[in-house]
């Protein structure tokens, strides 16, 4: 009974007569209007259309709503009295602009101050764990008729920090600007803040991405522009007695013949000093030195230029150790190399030595039991499975070489592939 009234923003939009005849399912219809249908559910044995729970279907078009927030309320008028519902807030956004990140470096840019205590590898400085980078992000299309409470997320997986959701703050803050209070349609949302690197990462080209969103969509995270590549090494020590990741130089040894067992096999290399010709570059992999870090990189101060002055063979030596566990064979895993790379015609040579016992044994050559003497150049490879190379030192054992073997990798020229990882298996 009575009338059902629809109010939007305190304006009466439409009235439905509840005394009209409905169908046998308890439905009232008012086709083509805002109040489209009422479904009445019987309860307490009352007859339909007398008393029951009602579900009201409201069809709203743009003509009935204002841009932004709308207050919707239903009023049931019966026996000269009105009984109203609580207000329902509906946001209407007919804006056509999508959120976007500005790619103009004057508006969006990643920079990095010089770190107080950089990580150094092969003379190259890297941003360490705990260092700060500065990220400025300017976005458009955030404020239309509605906006998201977290308009921007800074994505840090490629830079060494956890993702950061940027919350909207009314009136802005020291890190947020560009908009009024309340924000006006078309105003930018500008994030300008320091971000601490705190996630393990090694990168010669670290990047920050930003995801921007409105209440209806999120744009695929886009790269925040930068003028220089970011060098980041926020990893703790990765190398072990049996593993080399090339993100530190703890186990690196100076070039030498090693005809006797070295007294120490760790912390013997000065990673802060620039490389000299003949020494391979450790930079997330073992590489031929040819990069110019003196320009186009952050940190910027005091970086070496390896694009000139390096010719011919470049070498790297480190020890692998299994204390009190003698071995005369094993498997050397060389991630990034194939058999053709280390054979005599290839661009890489890999040699194994038991110091004080053998010469430099060539992993690129097969082991020949009939001719093997353990001298320089003898082949030691017994099998190969993808990047896993089985080797033997014949009758010679690490029990007599300080429990270690030495591995020397020679990159013959700039065409040599990078060695991503080295590991002894089976020990």
- 328-381 pLDDT, tens digit per residue, is 999 999 999 999 999 999 999 999 999 999 999 999 999 999 999 999 999 999
Among candidate residues 382, 392, 293, the one with its CA nearest the CA of residue 339:
382
Q: What is the mean pLDDT of residues 14-25?
A: 73
Q: What is the pLDDT of residues 356-367, one digit of tens each?
A: 999 999 999 999
pLDDT of residue 381: 98
Is residue 69's pLDDT more than 80? Answer: no
Return the beta strands (E) in 184-306 as ranges.
189-196, 202-206, 209-214, 217-218, 222-223, 229-233, 243-244, 252-253, 281-282, 286-287, 297-298
pLDDT at residue 51 is higher than 80: no
Distance from C-alpha of 58 to C-alpha of 49, rounded to nearest angstrom: 19
Q: Which of 123-132, 139-148, 296-305, 406-415 has the lowest mean pLDDT?
A: 139-148
pLDDT at 89: 83
Checking if the pLDDT of 135 tops 90, the result is yes
For the segment 195-214, the average pLDDT, to the nearest whole number, is 97
| Mean pLDDT for the chain overall | 91
Tell me, what's the pLDDT at 217?
A: 80
> Most confidently modeled of 18-32, 95-109, 251-265?
251-265
| Cα separation, 12 vs 329, whole angstroms | 90
**pLDDT for residue 421 is more than 90:** yes
C-alpha closest to that of 412 among 295, 316, 274, 305: 316
In this prediction, residue 410 carries a pLDDT of 98
């Amino acid at each position: 009974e009575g009338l059902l009234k629809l109010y939007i923003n305190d304006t009466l939009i439409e009235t439905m007569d509840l005394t009209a005849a409905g169908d046998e399912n308890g439905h009232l219809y008012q086709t083509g209007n805002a109040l489209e249908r009422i479904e009445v559910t019987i309860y307490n044995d009352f007859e339909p259309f007398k008393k029951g729970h009602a579900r009201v279907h409201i069809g709203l078009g743009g003509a009935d709503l204002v841009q932004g927030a709308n207050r919707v309320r239903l009023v049931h008028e019966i026996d000269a009295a009105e009984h109203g519902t609580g207000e329902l807030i509906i946001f209407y956004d007919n804006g056509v602009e999508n959120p976007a990140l500005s790619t103009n470096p004057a508006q969006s840019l990643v920079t990095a101050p010089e770190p107080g205590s950089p990580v150094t590898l092969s003379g190259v400085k890297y941003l360490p764990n705990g260092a700060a980078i500065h990220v400025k992000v300017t976005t458009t299309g955030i404020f239309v008729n509605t906006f998201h409470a977290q308009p921007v997320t800074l994505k840090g997986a490629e830079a060494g920090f956890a993702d950061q959701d940027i919350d909207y703050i009314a009136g802005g803050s020291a890190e947020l600007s560009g908009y009024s209070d309340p924000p006006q349609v078309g105003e930018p949302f500008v994030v300008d803040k320091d971000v601490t690197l705190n996630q393990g990462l090694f990168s010669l080209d670290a990047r920050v991405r930003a995801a921007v969103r409105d209440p209806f969509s999120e744009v695929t995270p886009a790269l925040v522009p930068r003028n220089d590549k970011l060098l980041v090494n926020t990893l703790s020590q990765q190398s072990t007695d049996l593993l080399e990741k090339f993100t530190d130089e703890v186990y690196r040894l100076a070039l030498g013949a090693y005809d006797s067992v070295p007294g120490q096999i760790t912390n013997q290399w000065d990673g802060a000093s620039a490389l000299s010709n003949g020494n391979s570059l450790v930079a997330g992999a073992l590489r031929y030195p040819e990069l110019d870090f003196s320009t186009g990189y952050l940190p910027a101060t005091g970086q070496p230029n390896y694009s000139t002055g390096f010719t011919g063979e470049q070498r790297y030596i480190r020890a692998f150790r299994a204390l009190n566990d003698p071995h005369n064979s094993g498997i050397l895993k060389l991630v990034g190399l194939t058999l053709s790379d280390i054979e005599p015609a290839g661009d890489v040579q890999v040699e194994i030595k038991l110091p004080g016992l053998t010469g430099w044994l060539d992993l690129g050559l097969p082991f020949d039991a009939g001719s093997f003497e353990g001298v320089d150049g003898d082949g030691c490879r017994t099998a190969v499975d993808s990047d896993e190379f089985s080797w033997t030192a014949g009758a010679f054992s690490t029990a007599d070489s300080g429990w270690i073997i030495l591995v020397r990798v020679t990159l013959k020229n700039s065409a040599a592939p990078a060695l991503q990882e080295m590991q002894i298996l089976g020990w």
